[in-house]
Amino acid sequence: MPSALAIAAHPDDIEFVMAGTLLLLRQAGWDTHYLNVSTGNLGSTVMSAQQTARVRRKEAQAAAKALGARWHEPFCDDLAIFYTEENLRRLCAIVRLARPTVVLTHALADYMEDHMIAARLAVTATFARGIPNYRSSPQRKPTLEPCVLYHAMPHGQCTPLREPVRPEIYINTDSVHATKRSALACHSSQAEWLDATQGQDSYLATLDGFSRALGKQTKKFVNAEGWTRHLHYGFSDEADDPLRDALGPKYLRIPPRS
């Protein structure tokens, strides 16, 4: 069966901007994979880093189970996601294991460096998946199947310089929004963290707001996720768009203005 791999920086990032599409692919019969690059160890004002990492690991595993996706072990800590050879080799091993037709990852311009570097790692690790002389860690057999990378909407739906971002593709997540919300609720430790550090009264309400804002842009959907395809060179044919092929009427592409 085809496979989709979601690669995000921290526990809960997948749920905010990717989980609806991942759920729809799962419903379409796809094999789905869930990876947070970081342990999320700094995401608390009341627990130690070690305790936070343990709590967030369990929360992420519960969320992945709710999404019907295979959970993969993180290999960095918060604010330690760097574009290094070691991290590329470790991530490439996961890409080769998952053999994805689709990789879902962060925007290349987002509000924090962990997100942007995770996206860069995802791009290069996926590019390297089929290079026979590139050794992943652990070493796994290269895979040459076409793969399309999709970048999610940045947090707040704008660049770090506050410039609004419009996606290329909208996915109707109305039918899976409740499950997506339940998966985010698995990350219960983040209610305290986000309230204390970012002034968000409710992280679940924030999720609803993001989804509805994108849905409103379509004038068709109530809730949506937004995606923009990475340039195809080294990954797939120019016209390849597996989300279109798999999701049919739940897919809406709005070409950029010339």
Domains of the chain are 3-253 (3.40.50.10320)
**The pLDDT of residue 25 is above 60:** yes
CA distances from residue 94 to 60, 121, 148, 190 in whole angstroms, order as listed: 17, 12, 16, 26
pLDDT grade for 199, boundaries at 50, 70 and 90: low
Q: Are 150 and 232 in contact (CB under 8 A)?
A: no
Q: Which of 186-190's residues contact partners 24+ apart within 8 Å by CB, and which partners?
A: 186/15, 186/59, 186/60, 186/62, 186/63, 186/66, 187/11, 187/12, 187/15, 187/56, 187/59, 187/60, 187/63, 188/59, 189/43, 189/44, 189/47, 189/52, 189/55, 189/56, 189/59, 190/11, 190/12, 190/43
- Residue among 129, 121, 87 nearest 7 (CA): 121
Indicate the range of 8-22, 100-114, 201-215 predicted with least confidence: 201-215
Q: Say how many C-beta atoms besides its own lie within 10 A of residue 18's C-beta.
A: 26
pLDDT value, residue 103 = 98
- Residue among 243, 246, 250 nearest 220 (CA): 250
Please, where are the H alpha helices in 34-165?
49-67, 85-98, 113-127
Q: Are 203 and 192 in contact (CB under 8 A)?
A: no
Q: Is the pTM of this model over 0.75?
A: yes
pLDDT grade for 197, boundaries at 50, 70 and 90: low
- Residue among 29, 38, 45 nearest 189 (CA): 45
Dump pLDDT digits (tens) for 120-152: 999 999 999 999 999 999 999 999 899 999 999
Dump pLDDT digits (tens) for 48-107: 999 999 999 999 999 999 999 999 999 999 999 999 999 999 999 999 999 999 999 999
Mean pLDDT score, 189-217: 81
d(CA 223, CA 221) in angstroms, rounded, equals 6
